[in-house]
Amino acid sequence: MRADAGIAMGTGHVMRCFALAQAWQDAGGHAVFAMAQATPALEERLQRESMEVARLRAEPGSADDAQETIALARRKQARWVVVDGYCFGADYQAALKGAGLKVFFIDDNGHAAHYSADFVLNQNVHANEALYRSRDESTRLLLGPRFAMLRREFTEWRGWNREIPAVAGRVLVTMGGSDPDNLTERVVEAILAEPDVNATVVVGGSNPRLPKLRALVAGRRDAPGDVPRDVQLVENVTNMPELMANSDLAISGAGTTGLEMCFLGLPALLIVLADNQRSAAEELSRRGAAINLGEGAETSLRVLAEQLVPLLASRERRKTMSEAGRNLVDGLGAERVMAKLNAGGTE
């Protein structure tokens, strides 16, 4: 698994590779993460899951990076090299393929000039073949949320039925593993203005403002006056499906978490945290599974409140959004991807 994570880039590339690595483990395999950049919390989680972490020294995406990855794959006798990140382009794929490796390339918006990987996976709702017109004849495409790879903890929630209350009172807030723009604080401020709302605020271990968020939540919870008393800050979660199931509505970054919320039928207000999330947020909104609040830097408390307050009160709208999401993601994506990998790309 060649992917990196950091405060600026977030943890999304590694976390979706993590979902595939878990499926590979469940099939009896072993996963090695080749990383030039990693946060301590994420590296610790990978190791807890019996996944090996090998640190690379080269500049991510460079020719030297490709050679380090090739050497590591050969030492480990890897059946596949999975690559996920925007710094990995056409030359990187070509180098791995030229070394005789099988390459599985995870993508979002067709950023590479040309694709020579054995498989290209784009699990987003907006994925389409036009993004990959420039590709080798042998390159296979796996497109759309049918191939959405969910982590192991989501599998036990297949078939679960969501109850839609008349008025939503439980809101989940999650802005990714690092939240470099500190949107979590802004969203918490908006929620604390709603007296009848209980909030669960998920903060990744890679978030540099964690102490400040702890103080904010503790101070507001204990403050006098008409403010919500049940504001819970949750760190380094491993039970995200349970938190989603116990919430009526989410305010979230528009990354892979959006597909996880679709699977559990959780209506969401999505905030675009990075350029690569824009198309996904727009398409999920168009399909009726979420509401796109736009760019994080432009999301004001007023805009958030204008969308949040009526959605809390509308059972019918939340029910429609929940059904739309569940129709998009069935939770079997990792198994479908595994079937392709086990077939060796030859079927």
| Per-domain boundaries in the chain | 12-150+331-342, 156-328
Beta-bridge partner residues of 249 = 171
Report pLDDT for 205. Answer: 64
Report pLDDT for 234. Answer: 87
Contact in structure between 51 and 31 (CB atoms under 8 Å): yes
- pTM for the complete prediction? 0.89
Report pLDDT for 180. Answer: 66
Report pLDDT for 185. Answer: 83
12-150+331-342: which CATH topology? Rossmann fold (3.40.50)
Report pLDDT for 347. Answer: 47
Which residues have CB under 8 Å from 22's CB, separation 6+?
49, 151, 152, 334
Which residues have CB under 8 Å from 77's CB, separation 6+?
none
Residues 242, 145, 150, 250, CA torsion sign: negative
Q: Residue 163's CB: how many other CB atoms inside 10 A? A: 7
Instruction: Return averaged pLDDT per consecutive 10 residues of the chain, 347 residues in all.
Output: 86 92 95 94 92 96 98 97 96 98 96 97 96 98 97 92 95 80 81 84 74 74 53 85 96 92 97 88 96 82 87 97 97 95 71
Whole-angstrom Cα distance, residue 290 to residue 302?
19
**Phi/psi at 106 (5° precision):** -100, 130
Strand pairing of 119-122 and 52-55? unpaired
Contact in structure between 84 and 16 (CB atoms under 8 Å): yes
Whole-angstrom Cα distance, residue 307 to residue 222?
27
Q: Residue 189's CB: how many other CB atoms inside 10 A? A: 13
Contact in structure between 170 and 288 (CB atoms under 8 Å): no
Identify the CATH assignment for 156-328 out of 3.40.50.2000, 3.20.20.70, 3.40.50.2300, 3.40.50.720: 3.40.50.2000
Whole-angstrom Cα distance, residue 228 to residue 221?
7
| Number of residues that make up the chain | 347
- Looking at residue 59, the DSSP 8-state letter turns out to be P
Contact in structure between 65 and 72 (CB atoms under 8 Å): no
Same fold, 12-150+331-342 and 156-328: yes
Whole-angstrom Cα distance, residue 23 to residue 31?
10
Report pLDDT for 222. Answer: 53
